[in-house]
Structure 1
Amino acid sequence: MLLPYNPPRHDWRGCRVWIIGASSGIGRALAQSLLAQGARVALSARHAERLDEVAAGSAMALVLPLDAADLAAWSDAYATVHQHWGGLDLILFCAAEYRPQRSWELQAAEVKRMLEVNLASVYYGVETVLPAMLAEGRGGIAVIASVAGYLGLPGATVYGPTKAALINLAELLYCDLHGKGLAVYLINPGFVKTPLTAKNAFAMPALQTPEQAATAILHGIERGRFEIHFPRRFTLWMKLAQLLPYRLRLRQLGRALGG
């Protein structure tokens, strides 16, 4: 019998979780679910008033405004978490920026912001929390990438490559950290109804709610999975598409997405 990639988790009560990007979408739904299950949850995003709404006065919530793309802000934010809880059991990277665009529509300032939020912020966060986790020999890092990172999808000109980079990063983090007692989770959702996907002008197959996404993510973490992808009726087709030779893959992508 194969062992799980990560230690299974049977109870969230008292667990110390920091959610980056907790004000909307999947991050918000994860925060609400974890708080309902008795976890201690630090809520981070840029807008404090939205975080207050998610916290809803819970004594288990720590509202911690943070621009994840601001490297200098990370150390102070983590110092606050450590002051309150003495450490972390899990950090969840949910923050993301997205605009559907083709390659001829790129704008440098927008590209820079997406690279900082979607990718650089994860490096900043890992650098910040990892020393303490390694010292304790426990803790977990969960990275929300996307099935958009599986393939070069026209329209996801910046978003897709950042998510592909996160998939690569999660794989190497697992290899680096698994033997040191740390858990690493790679989360690849399909389409989820959020403010980001509301920008899409095309039909999104197997569209899920943020609450469905949060349930799938927490279930995968509880079972100790490495890659958590959902809904499988959609993501398995995306994985199969990765196996096609380029001549077929590129032709199908172009037809499906107007290329």
Structure 2
Amino acid sequence: MERTTLFILLAVLADGLAGLTGGLLSERWLKRHLSALVAFAAGALIGAVFLEILPEAVEAAGTGAFRWALASFLALTFVEWFLGPHHHDHSAHAPGHPHHHDGLTSAPSTVVPSLLAADALHNLGDGAAVAAAFLASPEAGLAAALAVIAHELPQEVGDYALLRAAGLSRVRALLALGAVQLTALAGAGAVLLGSQWMDGLEGIILALASGTFLYIGATDLLPELRRIQTPGAARGRLLGFLLGLALVATVGVIERHVLGAHG
């Protein structure tokens, strides 16, 4: 159990560090590669769902896992229908995009609290998903961690751009994003504690995470990639998507057939 807890903490820490990359990368590099990053995140999320997370959820919770996954998918759908689009519009918030501005007053001040609150809830769910995955198996844990980190990169780049547009300095924007990353620890801790009191909790959390990751990958990330039509961008996003899938698949194979042989 101590080893699993250590893996969870390291994965959550890596996720938190990924959330701060927006302020560390040059705007020229982000403008050039953000489409490929979004595609990579979509590939990693969708690959993690079907190759590792949902199969582990079914093994832990039975076929009822599909109902939990469907419930989380529909819940996100209805939330967006009635409350508006998902706040993480990566390409629109990217440096160099027509809607992105470097000025300090180009976004309303109300953006900051709503964005940070939504980000905190999102990170809470990510932490819970990673913890539940590691409790189910190391393979599922690594797949969930990779999917969360891959999604965190383009997502937090967009959030960082919005915070800067709302008037926050680079340091204040990074501190704000770093603070909301701590909610991932709360989510992971809640699952660790809850799993000791409720049998099968990790299976339910994994199923819910499957529906959430599938929704984000298929309906949030992939449609954004249709906006860029140049041949070079198309090749970059195709390569990014395939690399995301390949990374999750490769890590699973290594964990099962190489590391597992020495376990």
- TM-score, length basis structure 1: 0.32
Which structure shows the higher helix fraction? 2
Output the TM-score relative to the length of structure 2.
Answer: 0.32
